[in-house]
Structure 1
Amino acid sequence: MNETSPKASMFKNALHKLSKKEKEKPSHFLASSASTGGFFGRKKTATHPPFPGSVKASPFCNAQLPPVWATPPPIPKSSIPATKSPAKDAGPGPRNAAGNLRSEQFAALIKNDKESVDLEKLRELSWGGVPVEFRPLVWKLLLSYVPPNKDRREAVLVRKRTEYQDLLGQYYYIPDTDRGMKEQETLHQILIDIPRTNPDIKLFQHPSIQKSMERVLYIWAIRHPASGYVQGINDLLTPFITVFLSSFVENPENSDLAGIAEETIKEIEADSYWCLTKLLDDIQDHYTFSQPGLQRMVQRMEDLVRRCDADLYSHIVEKEQVQFVQFAFRWMNCLLMRECPLQSIIRLWDTYLCEDNGFENFHIYVCAAILMTFGDALKEMEFQDLVLFLQSLPTKEWEEEDIEPLLSRAYILQTYFADAPNHIPQK
């Protein structure tokens, strides 16, 4: 008998909890999309036949598109104790299962007597969110920065951290007179961008963190001359620093680094460099000349929205003459980091790291889901209001109860369209 795939299993579990979700208080996300119109409110009718290869043929769906709230219900805020804890103070942890149970599941998978961690099971479990206390290690495992073999892990970390220090000695700690014109321009641009990175978050205004970011971004740029440093890469570094620092402080975003040893900062810096490199290896053509990867993503998103919600697409592009590149380019370039709070981005990345090329492929479905969430409101807007809204989404205060249904919608879109004939090609 064939085993159920991890995605099918997650989808089945989501639908199983469907009735419970009806009783939950709607999130900001759900309130924005309470209308029955659009793709996600679609019922099976003669005017909307099932797409070939869609989940409507699935035994889990009863030939009807799952509603947006087909996702495990969050724990009500009233049930979360007000006592101080690392998980609470580090920001919203995954709430799609009881916190203690979920932590126990991760502990059973990671802290056992086996020689290696089962990465496939880790991806399946992490897709729904990673508890704060396990996230630093889980991210390193999912990015293949450290090996699943436990006995080799510490030696690999020591070697990679030493290698990073060697790179600093070779490229960074040199006289300015030894830098070429291009290297000086790169460093100058990095120094301009770092103070602008998350200016409202205390951690990223700390001189030690800003200096670490300067070194990481400069070394990455020098080691990747095909793209060099491009604005937006600085944003992608911040989740790694925040997550890895959470191993040492309860509330990393508001930390003044008191009591954190300089050696610890160096280790966080090195780990952040290598993990950023791993992430960017899959999307480097987003930052090469003319940024073809980003243009491809914008086009794929546009094609997806046109297929899912023709009325919305027609209103935006044909009636109001707004081009997707005017708003979606930044969504792709910065992976929504300018649109959502950092903790919400970290939760998104839990899932992206479990998807096949999630920072390119799955991110497109997330962006399309965001756009269609506000579809009814957008259809009432004219050009100026439409552009202003799309360039400044009302998502700055989103929390995890908003991210969970967003991921559910994105997953539905991916399941619906990824394997359908004539679908936009995957990278």
Structure 2
Amino acid sequence: MRGGNKDQSNSSDRSLSNHTISSPQSKPGNIQSIIYGAQHPPLAHLLNNLDSQQPLKHKHGSLKNKHSSNLPAPTSHRHAGPGLGKRLNAEKNYDYISDYTTNISNLRISEDKNLYRTASQFLASEQESIKMEKFSKLMSSENLDIDELIKLSWSGIHPKYRPLTWKILSHYIPTCVGRRKETLDRKRKEYFAFVVKYYPSRFEEIHKDMYRQIHIDIPRMNPLIDLFQQPTVQDMFERILYIWAMRHPASGYVQGINDLVTPFFVVFLSEYVPSGTSIDNFVIDKLSQDILKDLESDSFWCVSNLLDGIQDNYTFAQPGIQEKVNVLKHLVSRINVPLYNHLRENEVEYLQFAFRWMNNLLMREIPLKCTIRLWDTYLSETNGFSHFHLYVCVAFLNDWSDRILREKDFQGIMLLVQNLPTKNWSEKEIGMILAEAYKLKYIFADSPRHLFPTQPINHEYYNKEDKDKNSDAIC
């Protein structure tokens, strides 16, 4: 009997031990501490109401029935201590307790996320304030430090300082404050002298086709933005594009150049739009004629400086674009082999979608506000529009890699890459693309030979060709 009781007691201990081990893991907000005897204030009212007379259920049956000789008899509620038997008495309350503690854990996680979001917003606000102070101090200096301006502008420019910063980074006005007014007056007069000289010729036989194409393209530009459907704005764009084309006969006007005027025009216009007013619906005729002339001439000179760096994109056969698309293809083959193979297997040519990326500098792929943020960095980069843009296109394509790989045929891939869902993109997404592009530039820009590795010799092909020649000689 004694031996039997000893075995029975050991069995009871093992059963209790098994029940304890099968309980939830010890985590904040869990009931592990309750099982081991610690009180938890939020659960006290539940534990005090547990029915101590109800037997504890186990996965092998009732502990009371199986080991009743080894368990102490239950006591009344008045004298019951906070022991294991009382606290684990009612399995019917386990789910309630588990749900309660799970809700507590979820609440804590939610609170942690909200706290993290609040902290992130606070830090971003603080960083923006510090950045604005630096811009303010820099812009007020008599001789502006261009290197410091580039450094501040790369990660984005505050709208308040963007018009002036873009003019400086576009080499339109000097860094010296004392020379700016003189330069602006001279350049603005020079532009309108071009208008007087060239614009009347738009109806001549030799130029009327070019002017007609400009006249057709401008209404198509940003058709969903009311600002660009206003006749005054369209007349300004016509003059800008026609004068540029007349002064650059090697390329003339090419479709896509009209889009490149838009960011400059919007940024310079923002200087005159009242705070809280949407620039998309702003009635430009409210501005004086002098301001309208300044907007037009400033936009002309800045887009001219941009196009001077990428003019081979628009000369005959557009060799600049073809070269960039070819480099894009090689870069994809180096950084994302599955995507490269997927496009090749489905016979997708890079020119079919990337031509527009190079021709319009991604303006047709992302919202205008994202384009403006993107150009903050382009203007801060050496050869930003001609070289850095290539790495941005690679990063942009790579960002959609998973979606593209899910498309299983040519038609599906083309529909996706020509209509990428970027409508809701913000500066956050552009910042991620720029960061990835900078990494690619750091890896490949200083080692251009890596972009075009020497193709390995196909020995099988040459061996087969030699065998065919030998067999022909024998015959």
The TM-score range, normalised by the shorter chain, is: 0.7 to 0.9
Query: d(CA) in 2 for partners of 1:96 and 1:281?
Result: 37
C-alpha spacing 1:403/1:376, structure 2 compared with 1 (3 Å): same
Pairing of 1:331-370 with structure 2 (within 5 A): 331-370=357-396
What is the aligned partner in structure 2 of residue 237 from structure 1?
Answer: 261
Query: d(CA) in 2 for partners of 1:131 and 1:159?
Result: 28
SS of residue matched to 2:406: coil
What is the aligned partner in structure 1 of residue 342 from structure 2?
Answer: 315
Matched, 1:256 2:283: yes
SS of residue matched to 1:192: helix
Q: TM-score, normalised by structure 1?
A: 0.74
SS of residue matched to 1:379: helix
Write the letter of the residue equivalent to 1:100. Answer: S
Matched, 1:103 2:132: yes
Query: d(CA) in 1 for partners of 2:297 and 2:147?
Result: 26
Q: Displacement of 1:373 after TM fit?
A: 1.0
User: Is this contact kept in 1: 2:392–2:437, CA < 8 A?
Assistant: yes
Q: Displacement of 1:100 after TM fit?
A: 2.3
Identity of aligned residues (%): 47
Query: d(CA) in 1 for partners of 2:200 and 2:404?
Result: 51
Tell me which of 232, 249, 266 is aligned to 2:293: 266
Query: d(CA) in 1 for partners of 2:377 and 2:181?
Result: 26
Tell me which of 147, 150, 160 is aligned to 1:120: 147
1:13-66 alpha-carbon deviations (Å, 9 max, x no partner): xxxxxxxxxxxxxxxxxxxxxxxxxxxxxxxxxxxxxxxxxxxxxxxxxxxxxx
Matched, 1:207 2:242: no
Matched, 1:226 2:250: yes
Q: Could you list the runs of 5+ residues in structure 2 that have no partner in the other structure?
A: 1-115, 453-475
Query: d(CA) in 2 for partners of 1:400 and 1:77?
Result: 19
1:155-203 alpha-carbon deviations (Å, 9 max, x no partner): 0000000001100110114583xx2x23111111111001000011111
C-alpha spacing 1:264/1:405, structure 2 compared with 1 (3 Å): same
User: Is this contact kept in 1: 2:325–2:351, CA < 8 A?
Assistant: yes
What is the aligned partner in structure 1 of residue 86 from structure 2?
Answer: none
1:305-354 alpha-carbon deviations (Å, 9 max, x no partner): 1111111101112x111010010000100001111111100000000011
C-alpha spacing 1:279/1:97, structure 2 compared with 1 (3 Å): farther
* Root-mean-square deviation (Å): 2.0
Query: d(CA) in 2 for partners of 1:97 and 1:367?
Result: 32
User: Is this contact kept in 2: 1:242–1:253, CA < 8 A?
Assistant: no
What is the aligned partner in structure 2 of residue 69 from structure 1?
Answer: none
C-alpha spacing 1:77/1:407, structure 2 compared with 1 (3 Å): farther
Q: Displacement of 1:285 after TM fit?
A: 0.7
Pairing of 1:1-16 with structure 2 (within 5 A): none
Higher Rg: 2
What is the aligned partner in structure 2 of residue 420 from structure 1?
Answer: 447
What is the aligned partner in structure 2 of residue 247 from structure 1?
Answer: 271
Q: Displacement of 1:78 after TM fit?
A: 11
User: Is this contact kept in 2: 1:96–1:128, CA < 8 A?
Assistant: no
Write the letter of the residue equivalent to 2:283. Answer: D
User: Is this contact kept in 1: 2:232–2:285, CA < 8 A?
Assistant: no
1:206-263 alpha-carbon deviations (Å, 9 max, x no partner): 1111100000000000110000000000000000100000110043222112531111
Q: Could you list the runs of 5+ residues in structure 1 that have no partner in the other structure?
A: 1-74, 82-94
C-alpha spacing 1:264/1:384, structure 2 compared with 1 (3 Å): same
What is the aligned partner in structure 2 of residue 48 from structure 1?
Answer: none
What is the aligned partner in structure 2 of residue 162 from structure 1?
Answer: 189
Q: Displacement of 1:377 after TM fit?
A: 2.1
Query: d(CA) in 1 for partners of 2:283 and 2:440?
Result: 42
User: Is this contact kept in 2: 1:197–1:235, CA < 8 A?
Assistant: yes
Write the letter of the residue equivalent to 2:130. Answer: L
Query: d(CA) in 2 for partners of 1:356 and 1:222?
Result: 28
Matched, 1:293 2:320: yes
The list of structure 1 runs, each at least 4 consecutive aligned residues, that deviate by more than 4 angstroms after superposition, is 75-81
Query: d(CA) in 2 for partners of 1:76 and 1:204?
Result: 37
User: Is this contact kept in 1: 2:202–2:211, CA < 8 A?
Assistant: no
Bigger relative CO (Cα 8 Å, ≥ 6 apart) = 1
Q: Displacement of 1:108 after TM fit?
A: 1.2
The structure richer in helix per residue is 2
C-alpha spacing 1:142/1:77, structure 2 compared with 1 (3 Å): farther
Query: d(CA) in 1 for partners of 2:132 and 2:169?
Result: 17
Write the letter of the residue equivalent to 1:224. Answer: H
Query: d(CA) in 1 for partners of 2:119 and 2:373?
Result: 21
